[in-house]
Amino acid sequence: MCGILGTLNYQNAADAHKLSAMRDTMPYRGPDDNGVWLSDDKYCGLAHLRLSILDPSPAGHQPRVEQSGRYVISYNGEVYNYIEIRAELETKGYTFETGTDTEVILQAYIEYGTECLSLFNGMFAIAIWDNETRELFLARDRLGIKPVYYYQNANEFIFASETKAILKGLSELPALNIELIDDYMSFGYIPGEKTLHQGINRLMPGHFAIVKDQVMTTTQWWDLKFDNQTDKGFDYYLNQSKTLLESAIDLRLRSDVPLGIFLSGGIDSSAVVGLLADKVKEPLKTFSIAYDFGKNFDETQYARMIAEKFGTDHHELKITPQQFKDFIPQYIELMDEPVTEAAAISLFFVSKLAKEKVTVALSGEGSDEIFAGYDLYQYMNVLEKYRGVVGQSGSEFFAGISNKILGESHKVSKYLNMATQPIEQRYKGMSTYPDASKEALYKPDFKAKLDAEKQKTNHGAFSKQLFENMKGQDQLNKMLYFDTKTWLVDDLLIKADRMSMATSIELRVPFLDYRLVEFAATIPSHHKIKKGEGKYPLKKMMEGILPNDIIYRKKMGFPTPLKLMFQNEMREYAQDLLLSDDSKLHSYFKKDRIEQLITEHNANKYDHHKTLWQLVVLEEWLRRNTD
């Protein structure tokens, strides 16, 4: 696991000192080694940070120049099936100098070109420069587990693992894409290709790009296809899913450094422990975290139950609300982008705990998105039934109630609003914020700017295209596809990448093995949600392996006591930050409305903690990323 960056210089020569400075904005991504490479004509510059996992010897140094000198690679990630690919390449006459997957990737590109990507099972961000054709190849893994950002103007093309590295290479901060503030307020993150910085974009998951003669051409090389037309019976899907999950876990054991598991006590991480325990000679190292804020924010008893059952070498940590508050500025700095994923702070601390013992950790991310584990999916199905019963007049009634509930339960307002619209309009993913609540915050002049920008930029086209891609599919498949392309990649996986890499931990996610993801997309929806249970195949799979108290208990998922913290430890901090005269938010949001939210929350009249956290994250981000 590493950090990558590079430049193509259209006007000036590549500068090794500048590349080093950009690289050094994210030193935690590669504490074991680093390097800079420049082409002879200094048109191309590549840089790398190395966290040594496979063949930790100096032979694994990057950027790596291929034997003939034609190709140079800077690569971040792990291709778990590199041994099999290497064996195939050796039958074609290729020889290898190292035990790294980096060399295998480079030789596979030489042999197969861009088609090599379909061979790779893993998480990756790849940059390869061809000295002969003078073109740069950039690629991102299927699901977007590893990030790639890029920026281009008339003078240069820059790419990097994090936006802060790109910003370091620019002479001034880019302006904001202000229409994306509305996306942030809708989702709690910004989905799609663009970021809040004008000109800095994401290479999308499952895409590769060729940059040549100052032109970037992007191609989608993978997409998730749902096919529920054939039903082979529940037992078939159950057995095949288990076989694929076990294979995914086996592949992710390949490492030349110590390995552990993040154990929350939920079914996902417990399943990884349960399926892995018999495959290792030494006790598994497991790591758990909780808030020192009472049993409602503490799952460690369940994690302990699993640790005892499987005899793991278990470690746990409790963090205080004060530690959470003190870490917020660093959280904003590390995340790069504004993302209201408070559980990310928990992940940082458990990663820091794990780093004392291991360099690689496995976790349960992705299970909910492939097996339909979130309660929201079932709520949506209920809403669809009610829509069919009440018709248009009933929908108008729901809309009237929703618009009045600005200060009450976020969930009540959210679901009433959803009940007024068809699935393509009402479903915006797992973290949707009610439109009426966010728009009550907007200043009139900002709202006018938003409306003008939305018309000019075809705003919302990304979400519409996702539903268009799923035309003819059932409601559950539409939601799963949408969340895989938005919530999973731009919230959960960005959190996983940033917080684990911040402590120099490589995080592996076996549920997102592409073979399992593709197979799960063929499981008929009625097998995924059955008898009121989401994630039904996984739950049945783990019966007899995990205790039923683990399998069928209500999902918590790193609960964070934000409601209570905003009334106590974070009360003064939030007031000072959000209501100060120099607050950046006041350019966009009504100060009196923010003050009302704080007052009502502190008086325990309404629970506004999600909106307050959203505003805190945005304000802290704006202070660091705007002039």
Q: Please state, in angstroms and rounded to a whole number, the distance separating the CA atoms of residues 187 and 202.
A: 17
Q: Please state, in angstroms and rounded to a whole number, the distance separating the CA atoms of residues 344 and 618.
A: 15
Residue 216, pLDDT > 90, answer yes
Give the per-residue pLDDT at 612.
95
Q: Please state, in angstroms and rounded to a whole number, the distance separating the CA atoms of residues 627 and 340.
A: 22
Q: Is residue 88 in some structural domain? A: yes
Percent of the chain residues topping a pLDDT of 70: 93
Q: Please state, in angstroms and rounded to a whole number, the distance separating the CA atoms of residues 61 and 34.
A: 7
Residue type, 449: K
Q: Is residue 414 in some structural domain? A: no
Task: Give the residue among 533, 569, 520 at the shortest CA–CA distance from 319.
Answer: 569
Q: Which has more pLDDT, 600 or 258?
A: 600
Q: Please state, in angstroms and rounded to a whole number, the distance separating the CA atoms of residues 587 and 499.
A: 30
Q: Is residue 398 in some structural domain? A: no
Q: Is residue 347 in some structural domain? A: yes
In this structure, the dihedral spanned by the alpha carbons of residues 358, 360, 363 and 369, taken in order and rounded to 10 degrees, is 160
Is the distance from CB of 333 to CB of 582 less than 8 angstroms?
no
Helix, strand, coil in percent for the chain, rounding step 5: 50, 15, 35
Domain finish residue from 220, 245, 273: 220
Domain finish residue from 493, 524, 551: 551
Residues 547 and 571 in one domain: no
How far is residue 581 CA from its own chain's centroid?
34
- For residues 288-302, one letter each, b for 16 or more C-beta atoms within 10 angstroms of the residue's C-beta and e for the rest, the string is bbbbebeeebbbbeb
Residue 208, pLDDT > 90, answer yes
Give the per-residue pLDDT at 433.
74
The confidence band for 418, taking pLDDT boundaries of 50, 70 and 90, is low
Residue type, 435: D
Average pLDDT, the chain: 91
Q: Domain holding 108: CATH number?
A: 3.60.20.10
Give the per-residue pLDDT at 356.
94
Residue 408, pLDDT > 80, answer no
The confidence band for 379, taking pLDDT boundaries of 50, 70 and 90, is confident
Question: 229 burial class (0-12, 13-18, 19+ CB within 10 angstroms)?
Answer: exposed
Residues 354 and 273 in one domain: yes
Using one digit for the tens of pLDDT, what is the confidence trace for 189-205? 999 999 999 999 999 99
Report the pLDDT averaged over residues 272-291.
91
Is the distance from CB of 33 to CB of 16 less than 8 angstroms?
no
Residue 557, pLDDT > 60, answer no
Give the per-residue pLDDT at 439.
86
Report the pLDDT averaged over residues 246-257.
89
Q: Please state, in angstroms and rounded to a whole number, the distance separating the CA atoms of residues 299 and 263.
A: 10
Report the pLDDT averaged over residues 479-500.
96
Residues 13 and 150 in one domain: yes
Q: Is residue 345 in some structural domain? A: yes
Is the distance from CB of 100 to CB of 74 less than 8 angstroms?
no
Domain finish residue from 197, 220, 243: 220
Known active-site residue 44? no
Residue 394, pLDDT > 60, answer no
Token pair, residue 567, equals 């009334």
Task: Give the residue among 492, 522, 487 at the shortest CA–CA distance from 377.
Answer: 487
Residue 33, pLDDT > 70, answer yes
Give the per-residue pLDDT at 405.
47
In this structure, the dihedral spanned by the alpha carbons of residues 182, 186, 188 and 192, taken in order and rounded to 10 degrees, is -70
**Domain region containing 251:** 234-372+484-551
Residues 63 and 120 in one domain: yes
Q: Please state, in angstroms and rounded to a whole number, the distance separating the CA atoms of residues 80 and 83.
A: 8
Report the pLDDT averaged over residues 383-401.
59
Neighbours of 168 (CB within 10 A): 19
Is the distance from CB of 47 to CB of 6 less than 8 angstroms?
yes
Is the distance from CB of 203 to CB of 149 less than 8 angstroms?
yes
Report the pLDDT averaged over residues 89-97.
95
Residues 536 and 625 in one domain: no
Q: Which has more pLDDT, 407 or 413?
A: 413
The confidence band for 60, taking pLDDT boundaries of 50, 70 and 90, is confident
Q: Is residue 167 in some structural domain? A: yes
Is the distance from CB of 104 to CB of 94 less than 8 angstroms?
no
Residues 171 and 277 in one domain: no
In this structure, the dihedral spanned by the alpha carbons of residues 211, 215, 218 and 219, taken in order and rounded to 10 degrees, is -80
Q: Which of 196-200, 436-440, 572-576 has the lowest mean pLDDT?
A: 436-440
Phi, psi of 141 (to 5 degrees): -60, 165
Q: Is 76 helix (H, G, I), strand (E, B) or coil?
A: strand
Number of domains present in the structure of the chain: 3
E strand or H helix at 47: strand 44-50
Residues 6+ apart with CB under 8 A from 458: none
Residues 94 and 152 in one domain: yes
Long-range contacts of 164-168 (CB under 8 A, 24+ apart): 164/25, 164/26, 164/333, 164/336, 165/3, 165/5, 165/22, 165/23, 165/25, 165/26, 166/5, 166/22, 166/200, 167/197, 167/200, 167/625, 168/21, 168/22, 168/25
Is the distance from CB of 427 to CB of 391 less than 8 angstroms?
no
Report the pLDDT averaged over residues 273-289.
91
* Active-site position among 1, 2, 73, 185: 2
Residue 315, pLDDT > 70, answer yes
Residue type, 351: S
Q: Domain holding 490: CATH number?
A: 3.40.50.620
DSSP-assigned letter for residue 215 = E
Residues 249 and 165 in one domain: no
Residues 69 and 170 in one domain: yes
Residue 614, pLDDT > 50, answer yes
Residues 280 and 247 in one domain: yes
Residues 589 and 610 in one domain: yes
Q: Which has more pLDDT, 424 or 141?
A: 141
Q: Is residue 337 in some structural domain? A: yes
Is the distance from CB of 355 to CB of 349 less than 8 angstroms?
no
Q: Is residue 427 in some structural domain? A: no
Q: Where are the beta strands (DSSP E) in 227-335?
A: 259-262, 285-291, 313-319
Residues 514 and 617 in one domain: no
Q: Please state, in angstroms and rounded to a whole number, the distance separating the CA atoms of residues 558 and 70.
A: 48
Q: Which of 88-97, 391-400, 456-465, 602-611 has the lowest mean pLDDT?
A: 391-400
Q: Which of 199-208, 250-259, 462-471 has the lowest mean pLDDT?
A: 250-259
